[in-house]
A = this chain, B = another copy of it.
């Protein structure tokens, strides 16, 4: 079974209160593009992350609002900032790293919410049944090419509105020799 691969560059999800602090209460966000997962989109707006060792500008803000602000970066980014975020699933933020977030209208000193995302595959229940996997399963995905490798511990995430897609961060994509173009992995049940 071929799984389409998407590369998640560093990005931020914001709670409504944090969005208001960073961009001002009346700010109307402009959609840059729809993402592959339905109802998810990238905004034109970006923020700056400031850590003890460095800063990263132009970090993409993804909507819609979330209950908690979440920053997803790569290990490369973490080193540049000088912070040590854990490898986590999206939403699993307790005890994760902090960072200062700077927007055009204000700053947020985020105490926790920075993670390096564990690689995962989005899919809907029908696809999961067809593949013989269920939400929370760990599978392997083989990626061909000059930097051929097999990603293990790939988390299956099943939801009615998910579209089949494997998400890697930029370090993982680089390690597999995957660039912006269309790439597919081969699912191997663990």
A residues near B, CB below 8 A? Answer: 74-76, 87, 118-119, 146-153, 170-172, 174-177
Interface centre among A74, A175, A176, A177 (most CB of B within 10 A): A175
A152 and B153: CB pair below 8 A? Answer: no
Residues of B within 8 A of A147 (CB): 87, 118-119, 153, 172
A146 and B87: CB pair below 8 A? Answer: yes
A146 and B118: CB pair below 8 A? Answer: yes
Residues of B within 8 A of A150 (CB): 149-150, 152
Complex CA gap A152/B74 in Å reads 22
Instruction: Report how many copies the assembly holds.
Output: 2
CB distance from A53 to the nearest CB of B (A): 14
Residues of B within 8 A of A171 (CB): 76, 171, 174-175
Residues of B within 8 A of A177 (CB): 75, 87
B118 and A170: CB pair below 8 A? Answer: no
A/B interface sample: 26 pairs, CB < 8 A: A74-B174, A76-B76, A76-B170, A76-B171, A76-B174, A87-B147, A87-B177, A118-B146, A119-B147, A146-B153, A147-B153, A148-B152, A148-B153, A149-B150, A149-B151, A149-B152, A149-B153, A150-B150, A150-B152, A171-B171, A171-B174, A172-B174, A172-B175, A174-B175, A175-B175, A175-B176
Sample of 20 further A-B pairs with CB below 8 A, known A87-B147, A87-B177, A118-B146? A74-B174, A76-B76, A76-B170, A76-B171, A76-B174, A119-B147, A146-B153, A148-B152, A148-B153, A149-B151, A149-B152, A149-B153, A150-B150, A150-B152, A171-B171, A171-B175, A172-B174, A174-B175, A175-B175, A175-B176
